[in-house]
Chains A and B, each alone.
Chain A
Amino acid sequence: MLNQLLQLTVAGVAQGCVYALVALGFVLIYKATETVNFAQGDMMMLGAFFALTASVAMGWPYWATILFAIAVMAVVGMVLERVVLRPVLGQPAFTVVMITIGVGYVLRGVVTMVPGWGSDTFTLPTPFSEGVLKLGPIIFAVQQVAVIAMTSALCLVLYLFFRYSKLGVAMQATSQNQLAAAYMGIPVRRVNMLVWGLSASVATFAGILLAPVTFVHSNMGFIGLKAFPAAVVGGFGSVPGAIVGGLIIGLVEALAGFYLPEGFKDVAAYVVVLIVLLIKPSGIFGETARKKV
């Protein structure tokens, strides 16, 4: 029984890591530009495809494909911000959300048009697809452990980046107060563009970690929808919140899948988010703000 629970926990945490990463990318964008990026999951999908190409078509080793995909998607993210988002800055939040939804459609459609990609499903070769780890009586899939380990590593890197690097501090500044940041000489628009690039890279990382579970196909981004519950549970606009939220959602899903009747697993995330929205919309780490009249 305990073994079962532990194994479920690990599985849940592993899946939760993916949600956490997608939520993280999406919270970064929200903090910087108050935009809700519904295309985050599709950026994850596109990133996974780039990794696939590097790995299968160009035959690169796993770590090289990660770097390649991250770099390419960083550019894609920046281009998206510059071309699609910047012209509509200042419009109400709802319209900007609809634009990102449109971007999602375009990404999904374009992926099916690329020769070699199309609407097929592909497997991304990773060094951890096979293998199990035995810790006493408990068996873990190496895959899951790898996901957790790599996510933790990325979080550490991001933490150091935001804390100690010039660009990271600049990003934090623009997220908190654009005007003040501008007065301090920070090129706000360029920083926002870079935030999109960073966010796309994080999504790519998530996609690569997710690929062994869902395989790579043009609709794999829909899992990204679960990043919204994750971000809400953790507290919108909070980076640690996104991670905690993602882990919680992953855990709840894993447990619901096992202990509850069929079908609950798919809606577990959404039931949780509705409950959170009803009780404490600002989530675990979020702050409530008021309009000043």
Chain B
Amino acid sequence: MSFFKVEKLGIRFGGVVAVDDVSFEVKRGEVYTIIGPNGAGKTTIFNLIGLIYPASAGRIVFEDKDLTGLAQHRVAELGIARTFQNIELFEHATVLQNLLIGRHRHRRTSLWEELLFTGSVRRAEIAQREAVEKVIDLLDLAHYRDSMVAGLPYGVRKVIELGRALASEPKLLLLDEPSSGLNPEETDEMAFWIEDIKKGLGITVLMVEHDMNLVSRVSDRVLALSEGRVIAEGTPAEVQSHPAVIEAYLGGAAVSAAA
């Protein structure tokens, strides 16, 4: 069975076709990156996969299950987690609580049990916290564990975003521009974590990224988009030297200069 594939996906907002006939497949265990100039539709594709917008055309298939028409919260339940480009954390909760919410799909207690806070709820809570501590350890967030998210620096918040997605123990992790706003050191750390996530945790990563160094370093395969359409697919080296890709980023003159 295929792990994750997108077939002829398309969406239009009024007269604007944001994504047009995009198809690709992600194999289990790989790091697959989508690149493209601004406005190419990369984040829109993530929003389509996450069922935030309903697609106008095409379908998304995860582990042979068609996601079309499912309720939005089911995506996480199936094992797909994501981070947001513009950080959508729970600002008035602590870092720990943010990560715990990430584990929502693993809850097994009923409302009445929770109101009475029975022994089974207590045990479930301890199990949740143990799982979250592993993520805190991996991402070095111990220092911030009990801090309110509002007021934390941008770099830390990006890490918390990642942590919250990891806390849900996903099979497929969608990272939306993980390195945007990070300085070179932080980007380096992010690269380590992505490699760790792939090799140590066995999670498949689908990423949108602009930083070409990061892309070449961690990706197994790359998809290049421009204006909502696929223009190239292959290894990082192949895609980066592809003439259509160069043209999309730098314009036609650059292609002839390169040739």
* A interface residue numbers (CB < 8 A to B): 293
A293 to B43, CA, bound (A): 8
A293 to B87, CA, bound (A): 9
A293 to B49, CA, bound (A): 13
Residue of B nearest to A292 (CB): B86
Closest chain B CB from A2 CB (angstroms): 45
* 8 Å CB interface, B74-88 against A: 84-86, 88
Closest chain A CB from B19 CB (angstroms): 15
Q: Which residues of A contact B88 (CB under 8 A)?
A: 293
Q: Which residues of B contact A293 (CB under 8 A)?
A: 43, 47, 52, 84-86, 88
Closest chain B CB from A289 CB (angstroms): 12
Residue of B nearest to A293 (CB): B84
A293 to B85, CA, bound (A): 7
* 8 Å CB interface, B28-85 against A: 43, 47, 52, 84-85
One digit per residue, 1 when the CB lies within 8 angstroms of any chain A CB and 0 when it does not, for chain B 211-252 equals 000000000000000000000000000000000000000000
A293 to B44, CA, bound (A): 9
Give the size of the chain B interface in residues (CB under 8 angstroms): 7
In the A-B complex, the 7 residue pairs with the smallest Cβ-Cβ separation, listed nearest first, are A293-B84, A293-B88, A293-B47, A293-B86, A293-B52, A293-B85, A293-B43
A239 to B52, CA, bound (A): 31
A12 to B93, CA, bound (A): 50
A293 to B45, CA, bound (A): 12
A293 to B47, CA, bound (A): 8
Q: Which residues of A contact B47 (CB under 8 A)?
A: 293
Residue of A nearest to B82 (CB): A293
A293 to B52, CA, bound (A): 9
Closest chain A CB from B44 CB (angstroms): 10
Residue of A nearest to B46 (CB): A293
A293 to B88, CA, bound (A): 8
Residue of A nearest to B84 (CB): A293
A206 to B73, CA, bound (A): 47
Closest chain A CB from B68 CB (angstroms): 20
One digit per residue, 1 when the CB lies within 8 angstroms of any chain A CB and 0 when it does not, for chain B 75-108 equals 0000000001110100000000000000000000
7 CB-based A-B contacts, threshold 8 Å: A293-B43, A293-B47, A293-B52, A293-B84, A293-B85, A293-B86, A293-B88
Closest chain B CB from A203 CB (angstroms): 36
Residue of A nearest to B85 (CB): A293
Residue of A nearest to B50 (CB): A293
Closest chain A CB from B177 CB (angstroms): 12
Closest chain B CB from A292 CB (angstroms): 8
A293 to B48, CA, bound (A): 12
A231 to B43, CA, bound (A): 35
Residue of A nearest to B52 (CB): A293
A293 to B208, CA, bound (A): 14
Residue of A nearest to B176 (CB): A293
A293 to B51, CA, bound (A): 12
A27 to B202, CA, bound (A): 54
Q: Which residues of A contact B52 (CB under 8 A)?
A: 293
Closest chain A CB from B86 CB (angstroms): 7
Residue of B nearest to A290 (CB): B53
Q: Which residues of A contact B85 (CB under 8 A)?
A: 293
Closest chain B CB from A158 CB (angstroms): 30
Closest chain B CB from A293 CB (angstroms): 6
Q: Which residues of A contact B84 (CB under 8 A)?
A: 293
Closest chain B CB from A97 CB (angstroms): 19
Closest chain A CB from B193 CB (angstroms): 22
A106 to B237, CA, bound (A): 70
Residue of A nearest to B87 (CB): A293
Closest chain A CB from B176 CB (angstroms): 9
Closest chain A CB from B180 CB (angstroms): 14
A239 to B84, CA, bound (A): 36
Q: Which residues of A contact B43 (CB under 8 A)?
A: 293
A293 to B86, CA, bound (A): 7
